[in-house]
Amino acid sequence: MTQAAPQLLDGKRCSEALRARIAASASDVQARRGRPPHLAAVLVGNDGASRTYVESKVKACQDVGFRSTLIRLPDSITEAELLQRVQELNQDPGLDGFIVQLPLPAHIDADRVTLAIAPEKDVDGFHPENIGRMVLGQPGFLPATPSGIVELLRHYGIPTLGRHCVVIGRSHIVGTPMGILMSRNTDPGNCTVTIAHSRTKDLASITRQADILIVAIGKPEFVTADMVKPGAVVVDVGIHRIDDAARKSGFRLVGDVKFEEVAPKCSWIAPVPGGVGPMTITSLLLNTLKAC
Ligand code: NAD
């Protein structure tokens, strides 16, 4: 059964509204403390996608009046040297928060690096202390992508209480924290949550039960119309460049959901690009503001 045209969970618009408030708070901070909130981003190596992500984070900081510092380190850096840099950033009183862009080169243990970041400067919300605080509902930094999705649902007034939320993916940065946030006794929240992953059997029979389907599987256009319940709210976290000779750039961006065929079945859908991506960066800005 086809529904009326779906409404877009427009992360760009939602971000604009939130970023205007963040900019106002940043000038308050500047007036009170004599300096704006300050975020640093550490980029190891020269991976194209990581560089793009980091550069857009730095630009977003500038747009809201934050100070931002991009620290580029070579691929050849040792784990010990990187840990030393992390300690310096932890101790820098002029810095409110920082992120180390993932993935890191294979010779560096990303978990060890995450653990070395001071929890009070961990604006990515990946440190075990912040994950633990999220699970316990205590104040701390929430991971940027899942908390951005919660803000998007809040902005559009999507009812969540008592609804069945299916999350595809159990990564530490998206799927697992997403499931926790949607099941918490908060609004948005209070969902009955199912986490599906690579070992899930008959995935489509589970996704078809979802009132809210959040897809973070990392496979281009994996979710098709037959996997979605009519009227569902669909949030597509995935982001992929695929070749497209018809475009001047030679590529286009797609998500984990086959938008053209899934959108007509949904009540609401977050598009790619322009859905979750801008919200992730906005969450990082909110965390940085909180850190200072
Ligand atoms: P990941 O590769 O770490 O995790 C993918 C998850 O999908 C795994 O937990 C795995 O169990 C599950 N999975 C794999 N195959 C499956 C299958 N056949 N059936 C069911 N589950 C399966 O990826 P991630 O870091 O969570 O990211 C997911 C996607 O989101 C990627 O495309 C990534 O680029 C994108 N992403 C976007 C943003 C953003 O801000 N827009 C932020 C983070 C990640």
The highest-level CATH class for domain 34-118 is alpha beta
- pLDDT bin (cut points 50, 70, 90) of residue 3 is low
Residue closest by Cα to atom 17 of ligand 1: 198
Inter-residue contact 87 to 58 (CB < 8 Å): no
Q: How do the domains of the chain map onto residue ranges?
A: 34-118, 143-277
Q: Separation of 216 CA from ligand 1 center, angstroms?
A: 4
Indicate the top mutation candidate among 54, 114, 237 to test ligand 1's pocket, ranked by most ligand atoms within 8 A of CB. 237
Q: Which CATH superfamily is domain 143-277 in?
A: NAD(P)-binding Rossmann-like Domain (3.40.50.720)
pTM beyond 0.75: yes
Distance from C-alpha of 209 to C-alpha of 229, rounded to nearest angstrom: 6
In terms of pLDDT, which residue wins out, 256 or 249? 256
The long-range contacts involving 78-85, CB below 8 angstroms and separated by at least 24 positions, are 78/107, 78/108, 79/107, 79/108, 79/109, 79/112, 79/113, 82/42, 82/44, 82/108, 82/113, 83/112, 83/113, 83/116, 85/42
Q: Is the CB of 168 under 6 A from ligand 1?
A: yes
pLDDT tens-place string over residues 200-217: 999 999 999 999 999 999
Q: Which atom of ligand 1 is nearest to the CA of 255?
A: 32
Asked if 34-118 and 143-277 have one fold, the answer is yes
Mean residue pLDDT of the chain comes to: 96
Which pLDDT tens digit goes with each residue over 141-164?
999 999 999 999 999 999 999 999
* Cβ 200 under 6 angstroms from ligand 1: yes
Position 236 scores a pLDDT of 98
122 phi and psi, to 5 degrees?
A: -85, 75
Mean pLDDT computed over 179-187? 97
The atom number, within ligand 1, closest to the CA of 272 reads 41
Share of the chain residues as helix, strand and coil, in percent rounded to the nearest 5? 40, 20, 40
Atom of ligand 1 nearest to the CA of 217: 7
User: What is the percent of the chain with per-residue pLDDT over 90, rounded to a whole number?
Assistant: 94
